[in-house]
Amino acid sequence: MVLIRYGDVSGFELRDLPKPGLRPGHVRVRVFATSVNPVDCKLRQHGPAAAPGLPAVLGADFAGRVEAVAADIRGFAPGDDVYGCAGGVRGAAGGALAEYLLADARLVAHKSRTLRFRESAALPLVAITAWEGLERAGVRAGASVLVRAGAGGVGHVVVQLAKSRGAHVTATASSAQRAAIVRGLGADAVVQCSRDDGPDAVVRLTDGRGYDVVFDASGSNDFGWAAGAARLKGQVIAIAARGQHDFAPLFSRGLTLHLVYVLIPMLHDAGREKHGAILAEVASLVDAGRLRPLVDPRRFRLEQAGDAHRLVESGTATGKVVVDIAEL
Amino acid sequence: MVLIRYGDVSGFELRDLPKPGLRPGHVRVRVFATSVNPVDCKLRQHGPAAAPGLPAVLGADFAGRVEAVAADIRGFAPGDDVYGCAGGVRGAAGGALAEYLLADARLVAHKSRTLRFRESAALPLVAITAWEGLERAGVRAGASVLVRAGAGGVGHVVVQLAKSRGAHVTATASSAQRAAIVRGLGADAVVQCSRDDGPDAVVRLTDGRGYDVVFDASGSNDFGWAAGAARLKGQVIAIAARGQHDFAPLFSRGLTLHLVYVLIPMLHDAGREKHGAILAEVASLVDAGRLRPLVDPRRFRLEQAGDAHRLVESGTATGKVVVDIAEL
């Protein structure tokens, strides 16, 4: 699926392309499934600076089977079942909205044994984002963590990873149905509230003290909400930042703000090994029964990639939106 | 020295007030010297929310001698020489622009043996600010630290404390004279540049890679400068934040921003013990010859407090501005 112009989904066009050639440090993967993240939609919409040049194959997350490896590759062999976040941006070797993906092996890990490919494809970008945020905030046993948008793509992983670190996890959800899902993921407390509600209802649960760590997984850009929910000298994790914002609410509470931008290793070829290592640990957590992906029930084939993008952009998906590329 | 209206220094008026009465948890100190920090000027200028109600005694930093202690006090006795940052804001028991200060003992420490009172009075607020920032950023041996405004009140302490942690320290200074001072404080590299210069000259010293930690001690509010000087996923420490700012430069490099607001323990009665503990460690570093305050040579008596405020506001002081309250 090739993007021939930046903008809305009408820029997608199904085309036959040659199978990508091998390069040192890379593996070629037969892609069975990919998932769509909000950042894929932003790259499609806005183009440069982070998007690949046109015509472009988008798609960061994938799960599939190694079909060939470069001569210098250790640790992967043809036939290995793998997953990763390795395509669809400037600096990547290919894109995952395709039957074959050339991927930097440092960004790849063996997939969990217990998940289907389409479930594995839902995890990489959101799991790395959640992992990096919690790690940078030093979340450990006993910490109180608030997850905004706990049923979202990133949020549902944050809830589970924070629990696996021993934190006390509160999450917000925008409907009763989503609240039930988040409870099922192990959240200790769930507050149903809309995007327009202030943080008062969640702060009340802490007797007004606020949370040690607030992970705003909503992608809202609204730092004021997170600042209002954090304790004095607490930590805020955010996964998006556009436009002008008032720092005063963050400053007056003496907060630390961690900005997690998961594309950096791909864009700058810096720290890629870390992403592969995180995904290996994530697969172990999955196989240990401590993490499972939340996948929206709607199904899309490769030629429906535009519809999958539209669903992500609508903000109505529950968890991740997956595109099936091969029948398995 | 009483502030009778918020605004410019004409609101100061010398008055006789009764000696403050003791309260549980407090010590009464005969103040020998106080120093003026930019935040004192902001409190004077802007009044609430953080300023004490009028008529107010301003002044956070002090050094002096314990004259009396409340019945529940352990660790301090009359005659002890002490210093601290304990006055002049909403929530504090008094202000340091006075002959006697009632201070929460948790905010107080014994002063170093090797410094004069006026030198000790220069340290508390800036040393706590520097300490907290470096601690929150986890600065340790081998880290590359850039200090913006290395000859300033906070900056000159950051340079020395970062060196004592084993970091490689680069600092900026706005004149050749200040650059020489910062070199004398132990900075490994000093770049002379003005407030309007971008970070290119300092980034060049890292072959374009950027610094692990950027401590913007200029109070500039200009996060773009620090973001441009930090390495990917590096850390920025800032000590001021007003108005609207663009988060994009921080986000696109995946940075962590630590906002250090040193008044929080006084304003919210939270974590005050930590400030006393930091000051005890700071006094030890001073006595070990690893830290010394930089004090502007101009001298002020209590009745000249307004002139001292004006010097701080002019931005032309070198290091700290001290007001002498008693001859010693």
pLDDT bin (cut points 50, 70, 90) of residue A276 is: very high
- Per the structure, the count of domains in chain B is 2
Task: Read off the pLDDT band of A48 (50, 70, 90).
Answer: confident
Q: Say what the pLDDT of residue B243 is.
A: 78
Same domain? B137 vs B81: no
Q: Provide the edge-to-edge strand list for the sheet that holds B189-192.
A: A189-192, A168-173, A144-148, A211-216, A230-238, A256-259, B256-259, B230-238, B211-216, B144-148, B168-173, B189-192
Q: Please identify, among A215, A232, A259, the residue that sits at the C-terminal boundary of a domain.
A: A259
List CB contacts (< 8 A) between A269 and chain B.
none
Q: What's residue B196's pLDDT?
A: 84
Same-domain pairing of A132 and A252: yes
For residue range B71-87, what is the model confidence (pLDDT) as tens digits? 999 999 999 999 999 99
CATH of the domain at A251: 3.40.50.720
CA distance A16 to chain B (A): 34
Could you tell me if B131 and B252 lie in one domain?
yes
Q: Are residues A157 and A173 both part of a single domain?
A: yes
Per the CB < 8 A criterion, the answer to whether A180 and A187 are in contact is no
Tokens describing residue B278: 């930091």
Pair (A12, A89) in one structural domain: yes
pLDDT of residue A170: 98
Contact A271 B247 (CB under 8 A): no
Same domain for B66 and B105, yes or no, is: yes
| A233 vs B221, B240, B264: nearest CB | B264
* pLDDT tens column, A133-185: 999 999 999 999 999 999 999 999 999 999 999 999 999 999 999 999 999 99
Q: What is the mean pLDDT of residues B303-307?
A: 98
| For residues A305-319, average pLDDT | 95
CB contact under 8 A, A233 and B268: no
Given a cut of 80, whether residue B242 has pLDDT beyond it is no
Chain B residues with CB inside 8 Å of A254's CB? 259-261, 264
Q: Which of A254, A258, A260 sits opposite B261 (nearest CB)?
A: A254
So what's the pLDDT on residue A240? 86
Question: pLDDT tens-digit profile of B40-76?
Answer: 999 999 998 899 999 999 999 999 999 999 999 999 9
Both B54 and B25 in one domain: the answer is: yes
B234 and B279 in a single domain? The answer is no
Q: Choose among A244, A251, A258: nearest Cβ to B261.
A: A251
Same domain, B115 and B232: no
Residue for token pair 């305050």: B293
Residue A168 phi, psi dihedral angles, 5° rounding: -90, 120
The model carries a pTM of: 0.96
Report the chain A residue with the minimal C-alpha distance to residue B129: A254
Q: What's the rounded Cα separation, in Å, for the pair A150 and A319?
A: 9
Nearest CA in chain B to A129: B254
- Are A273 and A228 in the same domain? no
Q: Domain holding A106: CATH number?
A: 3.90.180.10
Chain A residues at the B interface, defined by Cβ less than 8 Å, are 136, 221, 223, 232-233, 238, 240-248, 250-261, 264, 268, 270-271
pLDDT computed for residue B37 by the predictor = 97
CB contact under 8 A, B242 and A259: no
> Could you tell me if B7 and B45 are in contact, meaning their C-beta atoms sit under 8 angstroms apart?
yes
Q: Is residue B264 part of a domain?
A: no
Task: Quote the CA–CA distance of B228 and B225 in Å, as a whole number.
Answer: 5
Q: Does residue B162 sit in the same domain as residue B77?
A: no
Judge if B79 and B163 occupy the same domain.
no
Domain that holds residue A153: 126-259
The reply to whether residue B136 touches residue A256, judged by beta carbons under 8 angstroms, is yes
Inspect the interface and report whether the beta carbons of B268 and A232 lie closer than 8 Å: yes
pLDDT over threshold 90, residue A245: no
Chain A residue closest in CA terms to B49 = A252
pLDDT at B321 over 90: yes
Residues in chain A closer than 8 A to B238 (CB atoms): 251
3-state secondary structure of A181: helix
Q: Which residues on chain B place their C-beta less than 8 Å from a C-beta of chain A?
A: 136, 221, 223, 232-233, 238, 240-248, 250-261, 264, 268, 270-271
Helices vs. strands in chain B: H and E counts, helices first: 11, 16
Task: Kindly state whether residue B265 falls inside one of the protein's structural domains.
Answer: no
Output the pLDDT for position A257: 96
Residue A24 has pLDDT above 90, yes or no: yes
Domain boundary among A240, A259, A278: A259
Q: Which of A205, A230, A259 is the last residue of a domain?
A: A259
- Statement: residue B222 has pLDDT above 80: no
